Amino acid sequence: MGKGKYLKWEDSEGNVFRPVSLTGNELLNNRTLNKSTAFTYQEREDFDLNGLLPPRVQTFEDQLKRVYQGFSSSSTDIEKYQYLRALQDRNETLFYALISRHIEEMTPIIYTPTVGKACQEFSHRFQIARGLYLTTDNIHDVGSMAREFTGKDIQIIVVTDSQGILGIGDQGVGGMGIPIGKLSLYTLGAGIHPDHCMPIALDIGTDNQDLLADPMYLGIPKKRLTGEPYKAFIKTFVEQVKLHFPKAVLQWEDFSKSNAFDNLSDYEDELPSFNDDVQGTGAVVLAGVIGSTKMKGETLVDQIYAVYGAGAGGVGVADQIFAGLLKEGLTHQEARDRIFILDSRGVVFADREGLDEYKKRFAKPIELAKDWQLAETNKVGLTELIDNVPVTVLLGCSGVGGAFKEHHIKKMLDHTPRPMIFPLSNPTSCCEAVPEDIYKWSDGQAIVATGSPFDDLHFKDSLYRIGQGNNVFIFPGVGLAAITAEVKKITKDMFTTASFALADYVSQEDLDAGCVFPKISELRDVSLHVAKAILEQIKQTDPECLLRDKDITKELALRMWEPAYLPYRRA
């Protein structure tokens, strides 16, 4: 009889096993079932594997040592990425066991920052197909493609149209590296079995001239679909998802800023979906700010916020801070008054012609700056803002490397003894300032968190651990909670709850080290903590909640897969 959610059986004597119908090379080539050299002598006999493997049986530990040696012998990060992807494509159990044991070393390889380079070089480094590639020619054939897809009972989909990949922009079909990487983190953090994960790339062309001119480019070599044809394509895509994957949670990933907000608002009521760049980024940043206020002995309400970068991530951050301020008792107007957003034209004011719709809710009245001294007429940049407004929290979401300068940080010290400076853009080359400079400019008084990983830093007589504001602390727990509760909609409150749960998880030891985020090695526990908090909130607020009379901890345990080999028996 099946036990739990993930193909785990017990016989009448309580022996755990997994029934398997594949044999021979079909079994060895199945990345979910393959044990490679760890197949026992009996399994080799039972599944027609004799002679297809070297004769000596290895233990799981032996395999882990071998593949870690292979990883370590790779000389560059992109070679390590290729090595891990190849391992994932032939033996997913071994892959996840390996990265779970070396999580701090390997997560920057399987995702940011290395995944950015992998997306850029996708066509030249392509190895084995993974996921679905949807185009205008095949968008109506998702059902037939799903029947051929290796995974079944799809519960989480990560989709991108590859237009806004990290800080590097349009990568065409190469953006598939992002959904693959995100879903790896879902499995690593939330234990969602790889068979229930589906990465999707919407290949609707590219405006990247380098890709269009590259004869090796694997995507459709034409300009990107836009306007009403784009909207019609997305509408058809959502319809296909609802029809063929009715249990799935959909995560929108790395869409352009306008499409990110439009797709989210158009379809958040159609199926359980969210945009990690908008909502996940906002939630993890709010958690970091909450942790910083604990260090200072203050509250969210005591701060003035400057969000430098008003794309999907930046406005998502502003939205989540706004939600946090409301939770602490402010009115809508009082909360908005404390948040300033800046784009490439400076502070966003309401009188600007052609102002993007999604920026309007945080636009300021131009009268606010009527008495400010400006270096450039009609432009209020970051310097002018900090010179005239007592900003205590500076959040970088711009993708502009080196945008935060020494005079910005020193001026903030006039407003608060401990400014919060979060240069969040990644990859590392896009970081608005490096932690070493921020500590130097603030004489060690700033509270720092980054988007990219940085090593611990010695400054004067203190050792600082640089917290990484990584969305991976949020989205696996949100996805796991949504799947477990079978929600029809993923709400904004779920992300606010996730923010406060993440901040609650951060220990006093972390805060004493100057760090407002947990260690990435604690990802599994963090994801479980976030998921439990969200499910408790759902139980309290939703009278139709499926978990009302159930033990949440047990329900989550049933769904969280552990990467370990089970004994196989012929099905």
CA distance 56 to 503: 49
Q: Name the pairing type of β-strands 2-3 and 8-10.
A: antiparallel
pLDDT tens digits, residue range 484-543? 999 999 999 999 999 999 999 999 999 999 999 999 999 999 999 999 999 999 999 988
CA distance 454 to 456: 7
Say which of 35, 80, 182, 257 is annotated catalytic: 182
Q: Does residue 14 have a pLDDT over 90?
A: no
Residue-level pLDDT at 409: 98
pLDDT tens digits, residue range 318-365? 999 999 999 999 999 999 999 999 999 999 999 999 999 999 999 999
Say which of 6, 81, 96, 111 is annotated catalytic: 111
Tally Cβ neighbours within 10 Å of residue 332: 11
Q: For residue 422, what pLDDT band results from cuts at 50, 70 and 90?
A: very high
Structure tokens at 424: 């969040």
pLDDT tens digits, residue range 129-188? 999 999 999 999 999 998 888 777 999 999 999 999 887 899 999 999 999 999 999 999
Closest C-alpha to 322, from 365, 275, 366, 289: 289
- Angle, in degrees to the nearest 10, between helices 103-110 and 92-101: 120
pLDDT tens digits, residue range 451-483? 988 999 999 988 999 999 999 999 999 999 999
Structure tokens at 455: 């090593």
404-426 average pLDDT score: 96
Query: Within 127-192, where are the H helices?
Result: 142-148, 177-190
Dihedral angle computed from the Cα positions of residues 279, 285, 287 and 293, in that order, rounded to the nearest 10 degrees: -140
Q: Where are the beta strands (DSSP E) in 142-248?
A: 156-160, 197-202
Strands of the sheet with 273-275, listed across from one edge: 132-134, 197-202, 156-160, 249-252, 273-275
Q: Does residue 5 have a pLDDT over 50?
A: no
pLDDT tens digits, residue range 47-103? 999 999 999 999 999 999 999 999 999 999 999 999 999 999 999 999 999 999 999
The H or E element containing residue 410 is helix 406-415
Q: What is the pTM of this model?
A: 0.94
CA distance 278 to 344: 19
For residue 277, the number of C-alpha atoms closer than 13 Å in the C-beta half-sphere is: 33
Across all residues in the chain, what is the average pLDDT?
A: 94
Residue-level pLDDT at 158: 98
Look up 464 and say whether it is catalytic.
Answer: no
Residue-level pLDDT at 137: 97
Q: Where are the beta strands (DSSP E) in 388-510?
A: 393-396, 420-423, 447-450, 457-459, 462-464, 467-468
Q: Does residue 378 have a pLDDT over 80?
A: no
Q: Which residues of 172-198 are buried (b: 16+ CB within 10 A; e: fewer)?
A: bbbbbbbbbbbbbbbbbbbbbbbbbbb
Length of the chain measured in residues = 571
Q: What single-letter amino acid sits at 50? A: N
DSSP of 1-67: -EETTTTEEE-TT--EEEEE---HHHHHT-TTT--GGG--HHHHHHTT-TTTS-SSPPPHHHHHHHH
Residue with tokens 């400010």: 372
Residue-level pLDDT at 8: 64
Q: Is 326 exposed, middle or buried (0-12, 13-18, 19+ CB in 10 A)?
A: middle
Q: Is 135 exposed, middle or buried (0-12, 13-18, 19+ CB in 10 A)?
A: middle
Structure tokens at 107: 């997560």
Closest C-alpha to 260, from 234, 236, 223: 234
Alpha-carbon separation of residue 522 from 70, 284, 526, 541, 548 (angstroms): 25, 15, 6, 29, 28
Taking a C-beta distance cutoff of 8 angstroms, is the pair 293, 303 a contact?
yes
Look up 182 and say whether it is catalytic.
Answer: yes
pLDDT tens digits, residue range 423-444? 999 878 889 999 999 999 999 9
Contacts of 500 (CB under 8 A, 6+ apart): 287, 290, 324, 327, 533
